Amino acid sequence: MNNNEIVSELENIVGEQFVSDKPEETFLYHYDFITAEPEGKCDIVIMPKTAEEVQEIVKIANKFKIPLVPWVSGINFGSTATPLKGGIVVDLRRLNRVLEVNEDDMYALIEGGTTWAGLQAYLGKNHPNLMAGVTFSPPGTGVVASCLCYGMFNLGMLGGTGAEFINGLEVVLGSGDLVRVGSCSLSDYWYGRQPLPDLAGLFIGWEGSTGIVTKAAIKLWPKLPFRKDFVLMGNTFDMGIPVLLKLSKAGLGICDIFVFSYNWIQAAIGAYEKKVPLNPLKDNLPVFISGVTTQAYTEKQHEAQCEAIETISKEGGLTEAPQGISLDILPYQAWGAWNFSRGGGGEWIGSYCSTREIIKYYKLARETALKHGHTSQFYSRLLFGGHYCVSRFNINFNKNDPEEIESARIILKEIHEEVSSLDGVVMYKAPKWAHEVYEEKIYPATYELMKKIKNLLDPNKVMNPGHGWGD
Ligand SMILES: Cc1cc2nc3c(=O)[nH]c(=O)nc-3n(C[C@H](O)[C@H](O)[C@H](O)COP(=O)(O)OP(=O)(O)OC[C@H]3O[C@@H](n4cnc5c(N)ncnc54)[C@H](O)[C@@H]3O)c2cc1C
């Protein structure tokens, strides 16, 4: 490949300042969040400012048949923004404007590289009565990126996964065409995907391998005046999970329900893994720590909601943590917190699954981690009124120790294999190795359909090769 020719064509689109093939800049984008193997390679990075520029870049990638990888901060945990086959990384962070907030239909129209920090700051300043669901990820990570890869937020009980927060999209396809899907394809409103054929699915769960989203409308929610964050603790998951499932179905104005195992909390606050109890169950520590957030419009309504939450949790044997703990701190620097531990690295794998399987998932993953001398760092969130859930498991490692990194990789894969024995456990942000397994396993006609879709939207296979479906 002649980089000089491509770089010069790219410079004509965005200007010299926003293209680079210098190793001291491109190395930032090789980044592998440990699940990809081997590490990726970014040959050229470009930072477009408009959808038209994105279109021109896609045309050049097609002309030279060179890979294109959409990228915001590249720390999505599945390494799905790692350029596995080299090529151009499209760093979208200049596409960062909040274009409109519709208070009546409660959505924000944002550009494809908008970060959580950007959206939160804008809403806080201009629309304090509305809130976006936010992640536990660092403030500089991407909103649209998270929605497209089924990320999940602190409003997951209200709205489901990030994908369900998407009202409509503007996308530059791998072929270079620019399309709009949702109500925005027929009007100026971006209120939803209904009642047209739901084409947003052509871009959700595809890990940037069918097109580059340049605009997205994201659902917002009313911020009500009365709010409480419960921290409920119990000795075991067998005891705690049934309480959370009951709460999720009790209609109590609940925005979020999640559970952390004791050791995940310790990892998030920066405790050194080798200095905390490997098996806190043996020391009678509360292994089950959950968060339940509720909000209400009036004080009386709020009191009634809180009273019902307290009653259900007490009946189930859970204890409420002392007042004053607020979960309203998002997005926060969990990534930074990990760095307090020695050589602090952390990586997790996660799956969507039936709420019936949470306890089994937890136990299988825990046993595997303990077998390898790692603490049990489990996290689960109930979603969309308790219709399903996401479960995840984290392994810490020393980022400066290649052997520890390799070992973490192996353990994460082993955990995935163990929990995959449960029916309906499907990994999200699946790295390449997990995709390969799914492609073997998935209903064959479904996979054939995926390949046809991929071919239609990205005929030269330039979009994020090695990731997504039907490659
Ligand atoms: C400590 C920590 C905590 C986290 N907690 C959460 C959490 O609670 N919930 C959660 O959802 N996530 C979480 N994440 C994961 C992730 O960082 C977020 O989901 C984030 O918002 C995704 O942004 P990113 O910048 O990392 O995406 P990237 O890694 O840059 O991109 C993710 C994927 O989307 C594709 N992509 C990006 N932008 C576009 C676009 N405009 N069009 C098409 N494809 C695109 C990329 O090619 C890639 O496949 C966490 C990450 C960390 C490090």
CATH at residue 190: 3.30.465.10
pTM of the model: 0.94
The CATH number covering residue 64 comes to: 3.30.43.10
- pLDDT tens, per residue, the chain with 471 residues: 578 999 999 999 999 999 999 999 999 999 777 777 778 999 999 999 999 999 999 999 999 999 999 999 998 888 899 999 999 999 999 999 999 999 999 999 999 999 999 999 999 999 999 999 989 888 999 999 999 999 999 999 999 999 999 999 999 999 999 999 999 999 999 999 999 999 999 999 999 999 999 999 999 999 999 999 999 999 999 999 999 999 999 999 999 999 999 888 777 766 666 666 677 777 777 789 999 999 999 999 999 999 999 999 999 999 998 654 555 444 444 544 555 455 677 888 999 999 999 999 999 999 999 999 988 899 999 999 999 999 999 988 888 888 988 899 999 999 999 999 999 999 999 988 888 899 999 999 999 999 999 999 999 999 999 999 988
Q: Is the CB of 70 under 6 A from ligand 1?
A: yes
- 418/302 same-domain check: yes
- 108/34 same-domain check: no
CA of residue 233 to ligand 1 center, whole Å: 30
User: What CA–CA distances, in Å, run from 92 to 47, 69, 160, 274?
Assistant: 6, 10, 26, 39
Residue of 267, 326, 262, 341 whose CA lies nearest to 295: 326
- 190/331 same-domain check: no
- 288/392 same-domain check: yes
Q: Is the CB of 76 under 6 A from ligand 1?
A: yes
CA of residue 87 to ligand 1 center, whole Å: 20
pLDDT at site 159: 96
- 242/209 same-domain check: no
Residue 451 domain-assigned (yes or no): no
- 214/230 same-domain check: no
- 187/335 same-domain check: no
Q: Is the CB of 256 under 6 A from ligand 1?
A: no
CA of residue 463 to ligand 1 center, whole Å: 17
Residue 14 domain-assigned (yes or no): yes
Domain final position from 45, 76, 91? 91
- 285/367 same-domain check: yes
Residue 444 domain-assigned (yes or no): no
- 313/333 same-domain check: yes
Instruction: From the CA of 207, give the closest atom in ligand 1.
Output: 49
- 158/299 same-domain check: no
CA of residue 142 to ligand 1 center, whole Å: 6
Q: Is the CB of 92 under 6 A from ligand 1?
A: yes
Q: Is the CB of 386 under 6 A from ligand 1?
A: no
- 77/115 same-domain check: no
Residue 241 domain-assigned (yes or no): yes
pLDDT at site 471: 80
pLDDT at site 288: 94
Q: Is the CB of 165 under 6 A from ligand 1?
A: no
CA of residue 399 to ligand 1 center, whole Å: 20
Instruction: From the CA of 69, give the closest atom in ligand 1.
Output: 47
- 9/44 same-domain check: yes
pLDDT at site 263: 82
Question: Which of 69, 97, 137 has most ligand 1 atoms within 8 Å of its beta carbon, as the pocket-test mutant?
Answer: 137
The CATH number covering residue 327 comes to: 3.40.462.10
pLDDT at site 321: 83
Q: Is the CB of 151 under 6 A from ligand 1?
A: yes
Q: Is the CB of 273 under 6 A from ligand 1?
A: no
Instruction: From the CA of 70, give the closest atom in ligand 1.
Output: 47
Q: Is the CB of 146 under 6 A from ligand 1?
A: yes
Enclosing domain of residue 217:
98-222
Number of domains in the chain: 3
Instruction: From the CA of 216, give the closest atom in ligand 1.
Output: 41
